[in-house]
Amino acid sequence: MASALTEKLSRLVKEMRGQARITESNVQDMLREVRMALLEADVALPVVRDFIARVKEKALGQEVVGSLTPGQALVGIIHKELAATMGAGVSDINLAAQPPAVILMAGLQGAGKTTTTAKLAKLLIDKRKKKVLTVSGDVYRPAAIEQLKTVTKQAGAEWFPSTPDQKPLDIARAALDYAKKHYFDVLLVDTAGRLAIDEALMREIQELHAALNPVETLFVVDAMQGQDAVNTARAFKEALPLTGIVLTKMDGDSRGGAALSVRTVTGAPIKFAGVSEKIDGLEVFDAERHAGRILGMGDIVALVEQVTAGVDMAQAQKLAAKVKSGEGFDLEDFLEQIRQMKKMGGLSSLMDKLPTQMAAKASETDLSRAEKDIRRKEGIICSMTPQERRKPEIIKATRKRRIAAGAGVHVQEVNRLLKEFEQMQAMMKKMKGGGLMKMMKKLGG
């Protein structure tokens, strides 16, 4: 699924090459694909329509900058808009309240409320050094209370006992009272879920909300729920002033379109993503990354940005001019190139951002070997004198031995580097001034 979209988009990107701006006609096909992708990712139809209209408005008539093609520029716009819709930046949990800060967990049964309650407890203990109490108001399922007890223990938090014969409101009040007396920083309240929206359930959680005055009311929703998530979200939004969303089961194979729908319907920020059944499987939600996932194309846009941002354009141009003017490409320039590669964040970080099917081509070991290789080369050139770097031809046996010793490598490795440099020099001459950017493109392709 994901790869199909990636392929379609890259084909369209290719077709749009050579056009200088984004126009009504060249944008049409691309948006059609994106629309399909969003629907396939289970984003609700009205949300999709709205989104496509916004992208179109932003894109039309836009000049295409630098080395990007209109297709690439459009992918960038789509990606950005997707991330912005899901909430730019990171929204952290709010604990700004007279302690204990109460966090109310809401959602359907099976959404992952109990699991998330414990995960959140652990996160607040480990990362924020908080003293955390949990309590379950799910009096309809005795197993749910026991489950919270077990996972709370795993999280290293304290659990406040409750029994099925109590009223949820009484339990919550008692827990709050206990938390105050024992100086807890945070009280996490797990609530009863139903299999579907139910009025009595909504009333109950509204009462809990009124009595507890929580600083956070988190709506927990299963990312695999797809289209249904919209109706659930709408019902909870009407019943409660939601302050945040937790999307669970993001490790599943859904493309996570629920994120876009739920965010649009509730207007609340997505704060966390559940990524495993384990107690530490909760991550702060990253809208940028998730936008890539929905489009099924990895972080390809971030990749484009990283490549262009990491490269020092002034340096690259100087280099290009040098080659053009026939001044020659020396080891100083070679070193500069190696450093540019490093600035780009290392090869494996670049590979991380590529869609999986592309990244799969280069194995992990290949990458770490390549990175080590870059560092060793840098070491060798750094052991040379400036004169040697400018005039590599003076490097004969004695100098080679000295350089090898300085860099802590064998002489053969110095030889190999010099050979590689010569090949690169020859190539640079052939390219006559295309320089670094051309090379980068070669590396990228």
How many Å apart are CA 199 and CA 210, to the nearest integer? Answer: 17
Residues that contact ligand GDP, how many (by CB under 6 A)? 17
- Other beta carbons within 10 angstroms of residue 252's beta carbon come to 13
CA distances from 298 to 5, 292, 302, 304 (A): 11, 5, 9, 12
Q: Which residue in 269, 229, 227 sits closest to 110, CA to CA?
A: 229
Q: Is 366 annotated as a binding residue?
A: no
CA-based angle 124:125:127, to the nearest 5?
65
- Other beta carbons within 10 angstroms of residue 305's beta carbon come to 14
Q: Is 308 annotated as a binding residue?
A: no
Least spacing, CB of residue 121 vs ligand GDP, in Å: 13
Structure tokens at 335: 């070193």
Q: Is 153 annotated as a binding residue?
A: no
Q: Is 356 annotated as a binding residue?
A: no
Contact status: 109 vs ligand GDP (CB under 6 A): yes
Q: Site for ligand GDP (CB under 6 A): which residue of 7, 33, 52, 110? A: 110
Nearest-CB residue for ligand GDP: 274
Least spacing, CB of residue 184 vs ligand GDP, in Å: 21
Q: Is 190 annotated as a binding residue?
A: yes
Could you give the angle at which helices 435-444 and 411-431 cross, rounded to 10 degrees? 110
Q: Is 191 annotated as a binding residue?
A: yes
Tokens 């203990």: give the residue. 125
Least spacing, CB of residue 48 vs ligand GDP, in Å: 25
Contact status: 111 vs ligand GDP (CB under 6 A): yes
Residues in the chain: 445
Contact status: 248 vs ligand GDP (CB under 6 A): yes
Q: Is 244 annotated as a binding residue?
A: no
Least spacing, CB of residue 114 vs ligand GDP, in Å: 3
Amino acid occupying residue 150: T
Q: Site for ligand GDP (CB under 6 A): which residue of 24, 50, 92, 277? A: 277
Least spacing, CB of residue 243 vs ligand GDP, in Å: 18
Q: Site for ligand GDP (CB under 6 A): which residue of 79, 130, 249, 263? A: 249
How many Å apart are CA 324 and CA 332, to the nearest integer? Answer: 16
Q: Site for ligand GDP (CB under 6 A): which residue of 10, 23, 227, 276? A: 276
Q: Site for ligand GDP (CB under 6 A): which residue of 71, 76, 193, 257? A: 193
Q: What is the DSSP string of 407-444?
A: HTS-HHHHHHHHHHHHHHHHHHHHHTT-HHHHHHHHHH
Which residue number, 214 or 281, has a Cβ lying nearer to ligand GDP?
281
Build a one-symbol-per-residue string for 357-396: x at contacts with ligand GDP by CB under 6 A, - elsewhere.
Answer: ----------------------------------------
Contact status: 154 vs ligand GDP (CB under 6 A): no
* Enclosing H/E stretch for 346: none
Least spacing, CB of residue 248 vs ligand GDP, in Å: 4
Is residue 277 within 8 Å of 150, Cβ to Cβ? no
Q: Which residue in 346, 353, 341, 371 sits closest to 436, CA to CA?
A: 341
CA 432 to chain CA centroid, nearest Å? 39
How many Å apart are CA 442 and CA 445, to the nearest integer? Answer: 5
Contact status: 242 vs ligand GDP (CB under 6 A): no
Binding positions: 107-114, 190-194, 248-251
Which residues contribute to the site for ligand GDP (CB under 6 A)? 107, 109-115, 193, 248-249, 251, 274-277, 281
Binding positions for GTP: 107-114, 190-194, 248-251
